[in-house]
Structure 1
Amino acid sequence: MSPATTIRSEIINHLERFGHSFSSFGQASGINKGVISAILNNNPPKPISVRQIDLITKALGYDEGALYELFVEECFANEKPNGRRIGSFLIRCSELGKEDTIAQVLSRLMENLTYLTLVFSLAENLYTSGKTKESIIYYKCVAEHERYQHSERLAISQYRIFRASIGLDAEHNMEVTLQFVHYRKRLPENYQLDALFQIINTCYAMNKWDKTEHYADELILLSNIVIKNEKRKMLGKRPYEQLVTDRPLVTYYGYGYLVKGVVLEHGGRYKESMKYVSVYADLSWFEGLDENGHLSVERYRTWAIGNMYTLEILMGNVSVFPEYIQLLQDNPNEILPGLLTIMKSANTHGLSVNHILEKFKDVIQEYQSDDLLLKLSNGYMLSLNRLKCANLCYQIAIYQFGNKRYREAIRNIFQSITIYAIINKKGGVIDSISLFEKYRSYASQEELKEYDNLIKRGNNHENSNGFVNFSYQFK
């Protein structure tokens, strides 16, 4: 189509080419002949609706959305574009994935910033209906053109962009977190809770312990404030409207204390950590719990029991091993972090845990399988569990090297390198490669060849297929 082509010229050419009258074209398109006449002959011509452009496109024999670029001019034909019609058009473009057309319309709309409210509303409608990917172009438009840097609308847009940007790549997740974090306190409290939840996860995955602790403290403070506000609202004279959050409020409350305890545990401050574990061990006092809230309380109770055992084990108390192992067997979802705790303690205190490795050998083999690697690269498993899986393989490798089981150790270290690479955890890659280099002389020729291939794969696929670049590493 030439630049001079319009929707009306397309219709007229079609009528002349096929000898259509307004009546016959109306029948073919499903549009009343009077409307067809008004679209072509009125002065000014009758505006075309989004539904009508779709019907006309089909009647002309074109693919769905083929006339949308011409329809952009139709939308902006008047000095004051019709916001409702443009909104309907943009939603339709989103449904068809026509991002270039959306960008063209948004560019035209932003010549008058009063339409920013419309754009934000469209973004929210798409996001809340589950169309997260489609909403991001609108949120980015708001973020780029919002004049008031402390506006709630800007903060929510940045929050939505942040949530949509979190993926498998731990380094990338950290970058988008740092870009967003300055907006967190400008959000409404219900969004702040979830924002802190996500920020903590990202910092934890990158072993940014100071930041993790800082935001855990912030989540503890905020959740306590929100709880007090909710109680005050419940006792007030006005009808109580519960705060709407992505997760039950008790989940955020417990998570702040859980993460704080984990950070203290990582720093070897086990007695202090126990104080925080005791806070979320029993949250049954929480008011207004729904079914999900009760499930969350039960999960925290289970985690508290496990984490108390964890702290005892990390302090070298082997007497709790039988009870802890039984707990893991009764709660399969806790096996991964539980085994990681056991291996850390074994490596720290020089403990023998061969019997535990034997008991859970089938589970461990699943973490070592090629099938798991394929699943991980396709987004399988929560980000923190992917990290724990890599950490477990690394800790088992340390243990097996220490016990001179070199074949098993090397198999685990290759697995840790690969998983760390998939999630772009460069520190983990460095530690794993360093450990292998320490014991390189014990590797067979076949293992050395596999190791070289692993390194080459990392060098050849930087940031693609889930691998980081290893070129700066040992050769």
Structure 2
Amino acid sequence: MKTSILESLKPDIIVEMLEMAAAFENWRRVMETADILYQCVLHIYEDRQYHKAMELPIPHVNLERPLVYYFGLSHLMCGMAHQHQGAYEQARECIFKYAELGWMEDLKGEDIQVVEEFRFLAKTNLYAVDILSGNIELIEEYVAFLQDNLEEILPGLNTILQAALMYRLDVGDILHTLAEQIDEFESYEDVENVSYYYSYCYHLALYNRKCDRLQEAGKLTVRAMHLANQSGNDGHFKRCTALFESLREFATAEQISEYRQILMQCLDEYETGSHTS
């Protein structure tokens, strides 16, 4: 990318674009935007190093976070995109890049804290990639890691459920072990955890369907559908609708009623939006 273009870009605006692409699960766009972010902050870093070497005043760039954060995020998001596409080796390569950001010069204070945060994320995400790529013997060790890091249990259970679906595993004992923490998921309100909770409900519904616990699968699907509607994610909502239709003949009257209520709510919202537009 040309230097003139890089100089006109704002890292924090690119981060917003990156988060939006991830929210819509546009993984090709995520990778493209992550690369733009990387090229942009690399230009800023090299420009700073040049001015320092030439004993010139360091140019100021308005950033909401330390520069090292943007390097880490670019690799993290690219790795996440590869993981969601099943490209686990490429995801692993990205993880190694943000596992060690200490190569940057002049790191201090807040910078070092950011480096440590990405090092921790690399550890937990490497577990996920290794397990999803078939190293299921790591699951027991991963569960112990999650119990020591309770904030990672919700995304961690998503990984375990996906592995259970991919490799036909029985993870009932794990769900029982973490039941106390699972009970807290419904109280989460921030956007990231609501998204993780949707994913957990959806994958647990699929897991229960495979185990022939069809009414439990229906209950979880309705819950996932409600969360998808709450977050305005049409892709998630369509998946839930298709899944519930596959379970409809086994659903309870209460589940069918709740399912219809969610659909009617969507219709009302659509009509209201059409009238105001």
User: How large is the Cα RMSD of the aligned pairs?
Assistant: 2.2
Contact 1:230 1:243 in 2 (8 A): no
Q: Deviations over 1:314-341 (max 9, x none)?
A: 0121111122112222222222221111
Quick check: 1:278–1:304 contact (8 Å CA) kept in 2? yes
**How far apart, in 2, do the equivalents of 1:418 and 1:204 lie?**
20
1:182-235 CA-partner distances (Å, limit 9, x unpaired): xxx58745xx21111111110001011111111011112222222211211222
Q: 2:227 aligns with which of 419, 430, 434?
A: 419
Q: Does 1:253 align with 2:62?
A: no
Match of 1:447 in 2: 255
Q: Structure 2: how far apart are the matches of 1:427 and 1:386?
A: 15
Paired AA for residue 248 in structure 2: R
Please state which structure has a larger fraction of its residues in helix: 2
Residue 156 of structure 2 is aligned to residue 338 of structure 1: yes
The code of the aligned residue for 1:223 comes to: V
Q: Which amino acid aligns with 2:262?
A: L
Query: CA 1:271 to 1:364, structure 2 compared with 1: closer, same or farther past 3 Å?
Result: same
What's the counterpart of residue 212 of structure 2? 404
Deviation at 1:241, TM superposition (A): 5.2
State yes or no: 1:327 paired with 2:145: yes
What is the DSSP-based 3-state SS (H/G/I as helix, E as strand, rest coil) of the residue aligned with 2:201? Answer: helix
TM-score by length of 2: 0.89
Deviation of 1:356 after TM superposition, in Å, equals: 1.6
Higher relative contact order (CA 8 A, sep 6+): 2
Q: Equivalent of 2:167, from 331, 335, 349?
A: 349
- Distance in 2 of aligned mates of 1:327 and 1:231: 39
Question: CA separation in 1, counterparts of 2:49 and 2:154?
Answer: 38
CA distance in 1, matches of 2:30, 2:246: 31
Deviation of the 1:361 alpha carbon = 1.8
Deviation at 1:437, TM superposition (A): 0.7
SS of match in other structure, 1:238: coil
1:281 aligned to 2:129? no
Q: Which residue in 1 is equivalent to 2:111?
A: 293
Residue 205 of structure 1 aligns with which residue? 23
2:6 and 2:43 in contact (8 A); partners too: no
Q: Which residue of 2 aligns with 1:381?
A: 190
Q: What TM-score do you get using the length of structure 1 for normalisation?
A: 0.54
Alpha carbons of 1:364 and 1:408: their partners in 2 closer, same or farther (altered >3 Å)? farther
Runs of 4+ in 1 over 4 A off after TM superposition: 185-189
1:393-445 CA distances to partner (integer Å, 9 max, x unpaired)? 11111001111223332222111111110111111111101101101111122
Letter in 1 for 2:163: S
Q: 1:461 to 1:362 in 2, by over 3 A?
A: farther
Q: 1:222 to 1:239 in 2, by over 3 A?
A: closer
Correspondence list, 1:180-259, <5 A: 188-189=8-9, 192-240=10-58, 243-259=61-77
2:140 maps to a residue whose letter is P
Are residues 241 and 225 of structure 1, via their aligned partners in 2, closer, same or farther at CA, if it must alter by over 3 Å?
A: closer
Taking the aligned partners of 1:422 and 1:249, their CA distance within structure 2 comes to: 34
Range moving further from structure 2, 386-395 or 201-210: 386-395
> Computing the radius of gyration over CA atoms, which structure comes out larger, 1 or 2?
1
Q: Which amino acid aligns with 1:330?
A: D
Residue 408 of structure 1 aligns with an amino acid whose one-letter code is E
> Per-residue CA shift, 1:12-68, capped at 9, x if unaligned?
xxxxxxxxxxxxxxxxxxxxxxxxxxxxxxxxxxxxxxxxxxxxxxxxxxxxxxxxx
Measure the CA separation in 1 of the matches of 2:183 and 2:264. Answer: 25
Distance across 1 between alignment mates of 2:74 and 2:123: 17
Equivalent position of 1:90 in the other structure: none
- Report the count of equivalent residues: 270
Aligned pair partner of 2:130 in 297, 312, 316 = 312
Aligned partner of 1:433 in structure 2 is 241
d(CA) in 2 for partners of 1:194 and 1:362?
38
1:272 aligns with 2:81: no
What is the CA–CA distance in structure 1 between the aligned matches of 2:252 and 2:28, rounded to whole Å?
41
Structure 2 residues not aligned, in runs of 5+: none
Q: Judge conservation of contact 2:76–2:94 (CA < 8 Å) in 1.
A: yes
